[in-house]
Amino acid sequence: MGFYSRMPASSADMERTFIAVKPDGVQRGLCGEIIKRFETRGFKLVAAKFVQASEDHMKKHYLDLKDMPFYAGLCKYMSSGPVFAMVWEGQSIVKLARMMLGETNPADSKPGSIRGDLCINIGRNIIHGSDTLDNAKMEVDLWFKAEEFVNWTPCSQAFLYE
């Protein structure tokens, strides 16, 4: 079953996005801080797992970057240790999550953003977030099976959306 078929029927402008704390973020003990930012913003966690991905899996995940000089090293690094993989849901979350992340290069990321507050180097920028709705759909389905999603309604929901 695909991503859209799992969405609640009543939420036409709701989106889901794939967020992962990268091995550097996990090693630096930043999973809690990153989860906290999405939680306190009001987004809803619908799936999560702590995994060490294979290099092959990371090559699929970053397929659109296959011609970049950093592709091989990136895939090797991303599979070198555990990542905390998550799917978050909310209104316009794909764009809002990218804003919360900051720029790809932490040096260009504003203070207040995750990368602008918590890291320094482009190759160790601690977090992944889908960049478009189409890529979110592909990434969610690459990382999670239908049975890994939890169907729940946070009690805060009625106070987050009018």
Residue list, annotated binding site for ATP? 22, 70, 98, 104, 115, 125
> Looking at this protein, which amino acid is placed at residue 157?
Q
Helix (H, G, I), strand (E, B) or coil at 121: coil
The answer to whether 161 touches 14, Cβ cutoff 8 Å, is: no
How many binding residues for ligand UDP (CB under 6 A)? 9
Work out what residue 70 binds among Mg ion, ligand UDP, none; the CB cut-off runs from 5 to 8 Å by kind.
ligand UDP
Q: Coil, strand, or helix at residue 50?
A: strand
90 in Cβ contact with 44 (< 8 Å):
yes
Shortest Å distance, C-beta 64 to ligand UDP: 8
Site residues for ligand UDP, window 14-53 (CB under 6 A)? none
Angle between helices 93-101 and 31-41 (to 10 degrees): 140
Q: How far is the CB of 93 from Mg ion (least distance, A)?
A: 16
| Residue 115 binds which of Mg ion, ligand UDP, none (CB < 5-8 A, kind-dependent) | none
Strand partners, 129: 19
Q: Are 34 and 129 in contact (CB under 8 A)?
A: no
Q: Annotated catalytic sites, by residue?
A: 128
- Out of 125, 136, 138, 139, the residue judged to bind ligand UDP by CB under 6 A: 125
Q: Does 121 bind ligand UDP (CB under 6 A)?
A: no
Site residues (vs ligand UDP, CB under 6 A): 65, 70, 74, 104, 122-123, 125, 128, 131
